[in-house]
Amino acid sequence: MACIEARGLRKTFGRTIALDGIDLRVEEGRILGLIGPNGAGKTTALNAILGLTPYQGELRVLGRNPWTERDRLMLDVCFIADVAVLPRWIRVSQAIDYVDGVHPRFNRGKAEGFLARTSIRRDSRVKELSKGMVAQLHLALVMAIDVKLLVLDEPTLGLDILYRKQFYDSLLTDYFDHNRTIVVTTHQVEELQDVLTDLMFMDRGRIVLDCSMEEFESRYVEVMVKPEQLAAARALKPFRERQVLGGSILLFQGVDRQLLKGLGEMRTPKIADLFIAVIGNDAGAAQGASV
């Protein structure tokens, strides 16, 4: 069953086309990584899904129209836009009290359990916390709400690698404990490789790649080509070629792996490398890379 389904979703700001008639479907219980350069339309798409902006086309989220049924929808959806949105003057205990008072599905005990694994004091104000601690507090508050859809827009922006790892570890632990759908956008794609179940690239308001991670791993392969095999490898029409110290790495799309044996070391590409290959090509080539 689809958690999110859109057909012909379009949004313009004056002459700027933010969403260019996209179709998308996110099944329940999946973790989707929505990746794209600045201005690709990611945040606009999320705002439409969350009922924060009107749009053209058809869009259903958890079976509801997000623009006309937002009040009901928000009972089943949580959103993290940035770790710094909590009021700086509020104390940790007050933040917990507030969410407990406004959201009927908030589990105070669960939030306290999250915070017990941190060094955050309940009497501290947000302005006294480090950026990593604010992220942990925000995560504790959001993860303690029993919802069906969790939307994360650059949730770890500006955090160091330790806090980012803790964030995604907590996210995965909670995901496996509940039947949730998660949509996350980030520029730190290297940290999502082992987290996602589905991958989507956006560019200039369009979806240029949409696949499951199983399809990603079976469809794309990188080969560290031996110098004497470079001509043979190029004859198989790689999707991208890049030079590294000591050799060449060729990215192939949909090529029989039996044909690649003997050309060099094969491996699954990183999301970041595929992203550069797809977005870096012209629009026609990028569209051809869609699954």
- 258: amino acid identity, one letter: Q
Q: Please give the helix or strand (H or E) that residue 233 lies within, else none.
A: helix 230-234
More confident residue, 173 or 272: 272
**Which pLDDT belongs to residue 151?**
93
**Which pLDDT belongs to residue 235?**
95
Beta sheet of 149-153, edge-to-edge order: 77-80, 149-153, 181-185, 31-35, 198-203, 206-212
pLDDT digit string, tens, across residues 167-223:
788 778 777 766 789 999 887 788 788 889 999 999 999 999 999 999 999 999 999
Confirm whether 2-204 and 218-288 share one CATH topology: no
Can you give the residue ranges of every domain in the chain? 2-204, 218-288
pLDDT digit string, tens, across residues 1-39:
799 999 999 999 999 999 999 999 999 999 999 999 988
Q: Report the topology of domain 218-288.
A: Alpha-Beta Plaits (3.30.70)
Q: What is the DSSP string of 129-194?
A: S-HHHHHHHHHHHHHTB--SEEEEESTTTT--HHHHHHHHHHHHHHHHHTT-EEEEE-S-GGGTTT
CATH fit for domain 2-204, picks 3.30.390.30, 3.40.718.10, 3.40.50.300, 3.10.20.70: 3.40.50.300
**Which pLDDT belongs to residue 83?**
54
Sign of CA dihedral 184, 188, 189, 190: negative
